[in-house]
Amino acid sequence: MANGQEEKGEVKEMTGAKWEREQALVQKILEKAPYAEGRVRRERRIEFKVPADRIRDFLMTLKENNFELMLQITVVDWLKEGEYELVYQMWSITHRTHAMVKTRIPRELDKARMPTVKDIYPVAETYERDAHDFYGVYFEGNEKMEMPWILDDAEQGLFPHRKDFDMLAYVKKKYKILDRFDENKDNYVI
Amino acid sequence: MVSQSELIKEARENGMELLPLDKDTYELFFGPQHMATENFSIILKMDGHRVVKAIANPGFLHRGFEKLAELRPWYTNIALLLRICVPEPDVPEAIYSMAVDELMGWEVPERAHWIRTTVLEMARVSAYLFWIMGLSFKLGVYTAGQWAAAYRERLMALFEELTGARVYHIYTIPGGVRRDIPGDKWLRQLKDTVEYIKSKLPDFDHLVFENYITFKRMEGIGVMDKKFALAEGVTGPNLRATGVPYDVRRMDPYLLYPELDFEVPVLKEGDALARALIRRYELEQDLYILEQLLEMGPPSGPYKVQDPRLKNLPRFKVPAGDAFAHVESTKGDFGAYVVSDGGNKPYRVQIRGPSIAHGIRVLEQLLVGARIADVPVILMSLDNCPPDIDR
């Protein structure tokens, strides 16, 4: 195990010089956005950490720096920390680089609010609807937030992808197949 | 003749809500039972036979794969996630495996690289044949559709021999592939099949792609330009039909693609016809790639990584971290974002299906002003795949 870690460290030092193009790109973006933290993950993969209230400014900076495509908005529910991590997956055709823009917001439903970025990347409207349906993140300024997306009307407000969503209780209630389950056993894999 | 207000009143008494419309417009529910939409629905507001407004209505195929993946061990998820893309299930397998490989820091053996690339290209060819089938049915050229289904069947037989399954292969796993190539006979059969399909391409051209009916029905409808396509996150053949040469296999090379020679076809028109022709050219390129791979031959060596941690798969753990991997599918840029907290199950798996970009907002905007008969053609030219929107 110790050997493996040493080897990894060596690889990092060796390839540090190889990723000059990515390093230069991160430096260029950080100069315009000093509030962010950035690093190179590996070849063609970079990562930024941005405070939640500066996300619009930062994505505008990225758009000016030829990040043309927004691939996805991922929400990760960190239950222990009590936070949602929002990952904006960006791709630049010009630089051939994938950038993850990470930001953290509280996971309480009344505090999980973000400004919309649909005026910067119009496709974000769809991703924001998706994040709202499954996680309850409210994107202010997105008119389609209340429109039905994938879940049924009866499932609105449940936010089933949250880590503390009780799937077993939901399945029992929804499909009324109580006799199939043994009440004493609690760790079913549904 | 019953008046509109009476109808609305009657509907309300029965627990339904009818929206009052203008005198000449009506609402049309297009799908999910319509053959063209494939488990997807569009609510169209029509004026005569013209679409005034379209609202995409997904959700008929939602099976909660991302949530289910959080409850299952790392290797079990392969059998789950591949169901996200029905026409080419090898793509979700490959992206999930590539992301886990990155998290594990594994160097996948060369033989596994070769097999994975071949399987992905075979999946691309079969998905394009499947798409030709759908397109020709929507255009009314049924003969070509039946040919395409029959040729795809040959690839299905090869997949069955390689993986044991026809459609859902459960073959590409983290660290390599599940089984080795059955033998030289299989390689010869694949070579024959590639040659056979290649020899049949002119038939498709005569019947579909050089057909006057196709031009008449597809030219100039559903036009999008470069700027619009980029802002809407469109990828794959739909983006290349607007003049952007973005192909993940070139821009972010993975597996054996840096060593392979292929062209990225680009057209500038951005209409339904351009999108169809791009797919036709790419089918040819994919067959060419398969020829090169067969000429190269599978390198010798193991077909999956040898790691002592793999002995007890239910307790197999992945170091904490996150990784993003994406490949070029026939629909576009297919990506997976995998987060691990160091446990024996993924903490979060997010699959980025390309259809979520071009199947919702783009479709809604392209359909405005189209005729009702063009709706299936526009849908098919975008190659909308509802399961990767719903997941």
pLDDT in tens, A77-127: 998 988 999 999 999 988 889 999 999 999 888 888 889 998 999 999 999
pLDDT of residue B91: 92
Structural domains in chain A, CATH included, are: 2-159 (3.30.460.80)
Contact A76 B335 (CB under 8 A): no
Mean pLDDT of B103-123: 91
CB-based contact, B337 to chain A, within 8 Å: yes
Contact B335 A150 (CB under 8 A): no
CB-based contact, B364 to chain A, within 8 Å: no
Please state the φ and ψ torsions of residue A185, each to the nearest 5 degrees.
Answer: -95, 125
pLDDT of residue B251: 87
Which of A68, A76, A134 minimises the CB distance to B339?
A: A76
Mean pLDDT of B45-57: 86
Contact B361 A125 (CB under 8 A): yes
Which of A68, A74, A127 minimises the CB distance to B337?
A: A74
What would the pLDDT profile of B166-202 be if each residue is shown by its tens digit?
889 889 998 889 888 888 899 999 999 999 999 999 9
Contact B356 A127 (CB under 8 A): yes
Assigned token pair, B146: 């039946």
pLDDT, averaged across chain B:
88
Task: Name the region of B190 (left: φ>0; alpha: ψ -120 to 50; beta: rest).
Answer: alpha
CB-based contact, B309 to chain A, within 8 Å: no
Mean pLDDT of B91-108: 91
Q: Are A102 and A86 in contact (CB under 8 A)?
A: yes
Question: 3-state SS string over B274-323?
Answer: HHHHHHHHHHHHHHHHHHHHHHHCCCCCCCECCCHHHHCHHHCCCCCEEE
Contact B348 A77 (CB under 8 A): yes
User: Can you tell me which residue has the tokens 């160091």?
Assistant: B342
Predicted confidence band of residue A9 (pLDDT cuts 50, 70, 90): very low
A contacts of B326 (beta carbons < 8 Å) = 71, 98
Is B345 in a helix, a strand, or coil?
coil
Contact B352 A89 (CB under 8 A): yes
Closest-CA distance of chain B to residue A35, Å: 23
Assigned token pair, B191: 């070579």
pLDDT, averaged across chain A:
82
Mean pLDDT of B300-308: 87
Contact B67 A161 (CB under 8 A): yes
A contacts of B254 (beta carbons < 8 Å) = none
What would the pLDDT profile of A12-32 be if each residue is shown by its tens digit?
445 556 788 888 888 888 888
Rounded to two decimals, the pTM is: 0.87
What would the pLDDT profile of A114-168 be if each residue is shown by its tens digit?
899 989 999 999 999 999 989 989 998 888 888 888 888 778 888 888 888 888 7
More confident residue, B208 or B33: B208
